[in-house]
């Protein structure tokens, strides 16, 4: 076999391997979107219909069901608020850790990171008990608070990384110009790390949006339930309206998939707290 042939075979196997992985990843997604554009009989046709007249009926049904829109709205409010809170408290913390040496810095750092890996039930049970005592069950504020357990570690990690990349000389120059630490943080460093802010906001937003366990226990009420919970809510009935479930699922997952793709370069680094580049 000539070297060119061997090379061609290698190229082909490489491309074929990638295509297989791509199909594995994308087929369920296709099946979800396709299902949302089908009618119930069509969805369960055997053999499956690979071409059909798409219909938006399932979406009309899902939107007409006030629960779906309300749940999407609830998720949006909770996610945006939780991310905003996480950024407001997490970004200054990241700056403090990135730029100062003080006793306990290392310990605080590791403790922040371990919260990201915490088994959720450890927090969930006492949170539920406390919220119940304070009449905060079914209150979105409870979710916004509990999501900080993973948002703050994510934000702090990613932003420490960002602040490190701002040259210290720049801040020293600002210091010589007479700015104090807080002015330097707000006017010099913060504007330089806006791309990092966007990445940490999207990444933590994805996890807040996707959460089922906390929302399931802490905000089970019809008025306040979030998007992942509503997607599961159809399962109780005798016949499950699958096109409507798939339409709802598509609506629920669209924002996180778009957000994930937008920041795909940073996902590995973000989720492992910078253990990899």
- Interface positions, 157-186, toward another protein (CB under 8 A): 160-161, 164, 168, 171-172, 175, 180-182, 185
Instruction: Give min distance, CB of 172 to another protein, in A.
Output: 7
Exposure string for 155-185, b = 16+ CB within 10 A, e = fewer: bbbbbbbbbeebeeeebeebeeeebeeeebb
Task: Figure out which of the listed residues 76, 120, 138, 179 binds another protein, where binding follows CB under 8 A.
Answer: 120
Shortest Cβ 56–another protein spacing (Å):
19
Please give the DSSP secondary-structure letter assigned to residue 264.
G
Q: Distance between alpha carbon 200 and the CA centroid of its chain, in Å?
A: 10
Return the exposure string of 74-86: e unless at least 16 CB atoms fall within 10 Å of the residue's CB, then b: bbeebbebbbebb
Site for another protein in 9-48 (CB under 8 A): 10-11, 14-15, 17-19, 21-22, 24-26, 28-29, 31-32, 35, 44, 46-48
Binding residues for another protein, how many (CB under 8 A)?
Answer: 114
Residues in 186-245 at the binding interface with another protein, rule: CB under 8 A: 206, 209-213, 217, 227-229, 231-232, 235, 242, 245
Backbone angles phi and psi of 167, in degrees to 5? -60, 135
Q: Which of 9, 56, 64, 88 binds another protein (CB under 8 A)?
A: 88
Q: Interface with another protein includes 130 (CB under 8 A)? A: yes
Tell me how far, at minimum, the Cβ of 24 lies from another protein, in Å. 7
3-state secondary structure labels for all residues of 229-254: HHHHHHHHCCCCCHHHHHHHHHHHHH
């Amino acid at each position: 076999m000539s070297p060119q042939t061997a090379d061609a075979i290698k190229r082909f196997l490489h491309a074929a391997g990638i295509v297989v992985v791509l199909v594995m990843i994308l087929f369920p997604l296709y099946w979800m979107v396709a299902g949302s554009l089908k009618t119930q009989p069509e969805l369960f046709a055997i053999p499956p219909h690979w071409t059909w007249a798409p219909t938006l009926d399932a979406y009309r049904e899902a939107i007409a069901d006030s629960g779906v829109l309300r749940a999407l709205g609830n998720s949006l409010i909770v996610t945006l608020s939780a991310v905003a809170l996480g950024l407001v408290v997490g970004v200054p913390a990241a700056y403090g850790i990135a730029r100062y040496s003080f006793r306990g810095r290392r310990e605080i750092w590791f403790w922040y990171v371990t919260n990201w890996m915490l088994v959720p039930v450890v927090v969930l049970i006492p949170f539920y008990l406390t919220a119940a005592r304070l009449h905060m069950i079914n209150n979105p504020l409870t979710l916004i608070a509990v999501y900080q357990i993973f948002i703050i570690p994510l934000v702090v990690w990613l932003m420490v990384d960002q602040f490190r990349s701002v040259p210290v000389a720049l801040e020293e120059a600002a210091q010589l110009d007479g700015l104090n630490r807080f002015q330097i943080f707000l006017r010099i460093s913060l504007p330089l790390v806006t791309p990092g802010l966007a990445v940490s906001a999207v990444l933590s937003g994805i996890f807040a949006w996707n959460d089922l366990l906390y929302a399931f226990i802490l905000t089970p009420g019809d008025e306040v339930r979030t998007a992942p919970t509503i997607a599961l809510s159809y399962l109780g009935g005798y016949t499950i309206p699958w096109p409507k479930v798939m339409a709802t699922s598509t609506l629920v997952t669209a924002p996180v998939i778009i957000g994930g793709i937008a920041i795909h370069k940073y996902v590995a680094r973000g989720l492992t707290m910078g253990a990899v580049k």
